């Protein structure tokens, strides 16, 4: 569960290689079997309800400059229903916290946290979630999802969303084969083996957690070749090809930023493409803590607070209602490293 700095640095170097960058590196996971459950389940004693629908992994791809409790609220949010066949909220099977070292709209600036520092802080945020999940699971009345202890951190070099989806899927298929080679078949029950085979066949649903700005960019024509239809470009993301395939495709889980009025889309945003997608392709997510306005908590707010608190102990609470801006481990890291001051 510890983060190996030599492995982190080696992975970063391979992804940042200017001549032959690796498309994806997994730098940490909460257990060796990720994204499968932490340990083989015994069918006769498992207390977990049977999984409904395809194996689903939530992905939060962010600049993490720095990670905040608003990020954490997205990761812990339930899977919203979508389409006629899904009723009520569900849960993800696993989570992936993703850092893209190339971004179509952002570049590393002077005063920003380095990629290495960001990955260290992502790890501290993940440990915060693991700690709260462990505490909740010890309570008989807890309903903390099993997936909150099924986490991983990855880095990739692709800036475009459609390409990121392909890169992650390719990694998961290869990773499933590696898991099969490393595990004793006698240690797996039928459910575990079926989930691994689904991953190996690419039958996994990726749910990308996005804010409003990212949603607008996803459907913005300026980011795609003008020679092709935007709908034909985006359709393979939501519906795997060919049409007869059993692959479930990917989702966008949109978390609108409050309060209103909402952020208006850019002129090049194509709403007709959004309306033409299959039902449930883009869903509205909501935090489990509905009483908190996480829209007021952002990386920009944290960076500004670091500047204001220069030379003093770093206080990380939202002034209006005392919400903690970052997990305690991240707060201590910011203070120790003197970031954003």
H or E element, residue 122: helix 115-137
Phi-psi region of 126 (alpha: psi -120 to 50; beta: other; left: phi over 0): alpha
| Range in 21-30, 153-162, 177-186 the model is least confident about | 177-186
In this predicted model, what pLDDT tens digit does every residue of 226-236 receive, in sequence order? 767 888 888 88
Q: Is 124 helix (H, G, I), strand (E, B) or coil?
A: helix
Instruction: Look at residue 113 in the predicted model and tell me its pLDDT.
Output: 94
User: In the CATH hierarchy, which fold is given to the domain comprising 5-33+51-289?
Assistant: Rossmann fold (3.40.50)
CA distances, 85 to each of 97, 104, 287 (Å): 28, 36, 23
Tell me the C-alpha to C-alpha distance, in Å, between residue 236 and each of 230, 231, 232, 258: 11, 9, 8, 31
Q: 257 Cβ partners below 8 Å, 6+ apart?
A: 211, 212, 263, 295
Question: Backbone phi, then psi, for 212, in 5-degree steps?
Answer: -65, -40
DSSP 8-state assignment for residue 220: B
Neighbours of 159 (CB within 10 A): 15
CA neighbours within 13 Å on the CB side: how many for 156?
Answer: 25
User: Which sign does the torsion angle of CA 27, 208, 166, 145 carry?
Assistant: positive
This prediction's pTM: 0.89
pLDDT in tens, 166-198: 999 999 999 999 988 887 654 555 667 888 888
Look at residue 141 and tell me whether its pLDDT is greater than 50.
Answer: no
pLDDT number for residue 199: 85
């Amino acid at each position: 569960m510890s983060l190996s700095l030599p492995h982190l640095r080696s992975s970063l170097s391979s992804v940042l290689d200017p001549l032959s960058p690796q498309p994806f590196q997994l730098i940490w996971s909460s257990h060796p079997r990720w994204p499968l459950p932490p340990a083989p389940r015994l069918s006769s004693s498992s207390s977990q309800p049977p999984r409904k629908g395809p194996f689903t992994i939530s992905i939060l791809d962010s600049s993490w400059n720095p990670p905040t409790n608003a990020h954490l609220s997205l990761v812990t949010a339930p899977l919203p229903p979508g389409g006629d066949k899904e009723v009520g909220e569900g849960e993800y099977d696993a989570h992936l916290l993703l850092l893209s070292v190339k971004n179509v709209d952002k570049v590393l600036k002077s005063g920003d946290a380095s990629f290495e520092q960001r990955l260290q802080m992502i790890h501290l945020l993940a440990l915060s979630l693991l700690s709260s999940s462990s505490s909740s699971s010890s309570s008989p009345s807890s309903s903390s999802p099993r997936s909150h202890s099924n986490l991983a951190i990855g880095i990739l070099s692709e800036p475009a969303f459609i390409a990121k989806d392909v890169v992650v899927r390719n990694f998961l298929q290869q990773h499933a084969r590696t898991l099969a080679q490393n595990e004793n078949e006698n240690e797996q029950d039928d459910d575990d083996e079926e989930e691994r085979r689904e991953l190996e066949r690419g039958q996994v649903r990726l749910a990308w957690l996005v804010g409003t700005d990212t949603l607008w960019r996803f459907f913005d024509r300026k980011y795609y070749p003008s020679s092709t239809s935007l709908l034909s470009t985006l359709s393979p993301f939501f519906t795997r090809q060919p049409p007869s395939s059993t692959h479930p495709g990917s989702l966008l889980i949109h978390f609108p930023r409050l309060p209103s009025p909402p952020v208006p889309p850019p002129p090049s945003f194509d709403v007709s493409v959004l309306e033409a997608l299959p039902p449930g392709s883009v869903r509205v997510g909501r935090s489990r803590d509905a009483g908190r306005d996480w829209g007021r908590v952002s990386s920009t707010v944290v960076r500004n607070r670091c500047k204001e608190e220069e030379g003093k102990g770093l206080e990380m609470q939202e002034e209006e209602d005392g919400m903690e801006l970052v997990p305690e481990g991240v707060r201590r890291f910011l203070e120790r490293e003197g970031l954003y001051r």
